[in-house]
Amino acid sequence: MIRYVVSLLLLFVVIPIFSVESRLLIESPSKVTEFIHGSNSNDESVGTRWAVLIAGSSGYDNYRHQADVCHAYQILKKGGLKDENIIVFMYDDIAYSEYNPRPGVIINSPHGNDVYGGVPKDYTGNDVNVNNFFAVLLGNITGLTGGSEKVVNSGPNDHIFVYYTDHGGPGTLGMPSGEYLYANDLNDVLKKKHSLGTYKSLVFYIEACESGSIFEGLLSNELNIYATTASNAEESSYGTYCPGQYPSPPPEYDTCLGDLYSIAWLEDSDLHDLKTETLKQQYQLVKRRTLNENSYPGSHVMQYGDIELSSENLFTYMGTNPANDNYTTTSAKVNSLPLYNFLLPSFSRPVSQRDADIVHFWHKFQRAPEGSPEKLKVQKQYLDAMAHRKHIDRSMQLIGQHLFGSEKGPEVMNYVRPAGRPLVDDWSCLKTMVKTYEMHCGSFSRYGMKYTRSLANICNARVQTKEMAEASTKACANRVSPGSSSSLDQNGFMY
Ligand SMILES: *[C@@H]1O[C@H](CO)[C@@H](O)[C@H](O)[C@H]1NC(C)=O
Ligand SMILES: *[C@@H]1O[C@H](CO)[C@@H](O)[C@H](O)[C@H]1NC(C)=O
């Protein structure tokens, strides 16, 4: 009681002095005590932990992305974060999909428990889009269109964790609705968030193909942001626990249950006392596991931004599950073989993000009874998907030839800039080129995202929009637009 009175007295003394902190003080009495007694506690006990989790896909063949996000939520929840501080973006078409063998349940590993229960449905369906993601991160309620209106209403002492998983392409990340997320826009939003002074530090994990390109040459090291990505700027990232792999999902699942990089950090965070594990140690463990060096190629996990932040404990962002108190992480363990083997079940060939849908259709096809309508339907889906890929590959090749000649075309289109340089100088040109292509040749879809580098190179070569439009018209003159019988919708996505 005496302590309480003293705290109150101090409160009145403190408010006029620390005007910046006053919002924080008034909002939350428990934080007042923390603040006042903060002199003998470390930084981590001050401020709130926030998290934004985004699955950028929809569709049962993309089961794994929403499974990753649900799993991440469970870790943060067990770690002690409150629902009011965890904002979840997921299309939410998996748990009750007609294809889900366990209705109402989502698993993220072959023997895993349900990870769907309790997940807040903040932004679902078409509310999972770039605009809402940016508005949520900036704490801008008026910028939202739909959803729970939960936003990152953070203060200067707060820590923010952002995790995104889906398909991507050079400089782009997918969203199940609306436009792609472009790397420059994301970095601008992060700069804006920093200038608002509404966080102490921010950690960003991204799983997607070419995810390094989201930060390569773009993320400043002066924003108190530390990021890791599943792959470098020019390679695929991989699904895991896929049909036909070891370990494989339960036999009734014909889809991948997780992604390689995501599973690596999620299963590491599941196990350990996160008060004793640093971001750097997790980066090292995840890098080794994602590289999949056992025999098949994986991807190269990268780190960007303020690398010094990686000496902080994961606890600062994820909290920790009290049940893991005795599972400490030491540098010796990070580098020791036994833990390494323990963390690395021997995967067989991982499935590239871009081929996971094909694997899904292939397994569905194999399982369907001979001569059944279902088998015919799956066969058609598979063939439509392959035809769509061929159309995209061929049209991009032709555009390169029309613009740069058949000799130089492939060279210009496939050129990769040296590390440290962003994909493109003029991002609005890249957006225009994507739109120009789509106007004449149809949707890029998820598969076509791998060609954003070619379009970026077209911009870097200072090709004008008019020339690009002419080349696209020629390349796609004979295109048969997908009719109503196609199993691809008008955006080139599979039903
Ligand atoms: C919030 O979003 C609205 C609508 O997009 C925009 O006009 C406004 O400038 C945004 N405010 C902030 C602080 O970002
Ligand atoms: C950790 O180990 C101590 C000492 O063996 C034990 O008393 C405690 O219950 C353990 N904590 C957990 C969460 O297992």
**Rounded Cα gap, residues 311 and 134, in angstroms:** 28
User: Within 13 Å, how many C-alpha atoms sit on residue 4's CB side?
Assistant: 3
Give the distance (Å) from ligand 2 centre to CA of residue 318. 21
**Rounded Cα gap, residues 69 and 61, in angstroms:** 16
**Rounded Cα gap, residues 226 and 52, in angstroms:** 15
Tell me which residue of 331, 344, 229 sits closest to 293, measured CA to CA.
344
**Rounded Cα gap, residues 78 and 443, in angstroms:** 41
List the pLDDT tens digit at each of the 495 positions of the chain. 344 433 433 333 333 333 333 333 333 333 433 333 333 334 445 799 999 999 999 999 999 999 999 999 999 999 999 999 999 999 999 999 999 999 999 999 999 999 999 999 999 999 999 999 999 999 999 999 999 999 999 999 999 999 999 999 999 999 999 999 999 999 999 999 999 999 999 999 999 999 999 999 999 999 999 999 999 999 999 999 998 888 889 999 999 999 999 999 999 999 999 999 999 999 999 998 888 665 567 899 999 999 999 999 999 999 999 999 988 876 556 555 333 333 444 445 678 888 888 888 888 888 889 989 999 998 888 888 889 999 999 999 999 999 999 999 999 999 999 999 999 999 999 999 999 999 999 988 889 999 999 999 999 999 999 999 999 999 998 775 554 444 444 344 433
Domain ranges of the chain: 49-326+337-342, 368-476
- Measured by CA distance, the residue closest to atom 1 of ligand 1 is 143
**Rounded Cα gap, residues 77 and 97, in angstroms:** 25
pLDDT at 407: 95
- Measured by CA distance, the residue closest to atom 13 of ligand 1 is 140
Q: Is 323 a pocket residue for ligand 2 (Cβ < 6 Å)? A: yes
Residue from 65, 71, 159, 167 carrying the catalytic annotation? 167
- Measured by CA distance, the residue closest to atom 3 of ligand 1 is 143
Tell me which residue of 255, 276, 435 sits closest to 351, measured CA to CA.
255
Neighbours of 142 (CB within 10 A): 5
List Cβ neighbours of 394 (8 Å cut-off, separation of 6 or more). Answer: 475
DSSP string of 27-68, one letter each residue: H-HHHHHHHHTGGGS-GGGSS-EEEEEEE---SGGGHHHHHH
CATH architecture of 49-326+337-342: 3-Layer(aba) Sandwich (3.40)
- Measured by CA distance, the residue closest to atom 2 of ligand 1 is 143
What is the pTM for the complete model shown? 0.86
* Nearest ligand to the CA atom of 137: 1
* Nearest ligand to the CA atom of 320: 2
Pocket test for ligand 1, best of 131, 140, 185 (most atoms within 8 A of CB): 140
300 given a catalytic annotation: no
* Nearest ligand to the CA atom of 141: 1
pLDDT at 34: 37
Residues with CB under 6 A from ligand 1: 135, 138, 140, 142-143
- Measured by CA distance, the residue closest to atom 12 of ligand 1 is 140
Give the distance (Å) from ligand 1 centre to CA of residue 142. 7
List Cβ neighbours of 427 (8 Å cut-off, separation of 6 or more). Answer: 171, 182, 183, 184, 185
My answer on whether omega of the bond before 247 falls inside 30° of 0, hence cis, is yes
3 state DSSP class of 139:
coil
Ligand 2 atom at minimum distance from 324 CA: 13
**Rounded Cα gap, residues 204 and 226, in angstroms:** 6
Tell me which residue of 242, 227, 254 sits closest to 296, measured CA to CA.
242
CATH architecture of 368-476: Orthogonal Bundle (1.10)
List Cβ neighbours of 289 (8 Å cut-off, separation of 6 or more). Answer: 260, 264, 343, 344
**Tokens coding 478:** 């004979």
- Measured by CA distance, the residue closest to atom 1 of ligand 2 is 326
167 given a catalytic annotation: yes
List Cβ neighbours of 424 (8 Å cut-off, separation of 6 or more). Answer: 171, 430, 456, 459, 460
pLDDT at 32: 36
Give the distance (Å) from ligand 1 centre to CA of residue 313. 33
pLDDT at 246: 80
Give the distance (Å) from ligand 1 centre to CA of residue 72. 29
Residue from 65, 70, 209, 360 carrying the catalytic annotation? 209
Give the distance (Å) from ligand 2 centre to CA of residue 277. 18
pLDDT at 295: 53
User: 116-128: per-residue pLDDT in tens?
Assistant: 999 999 999 999 9
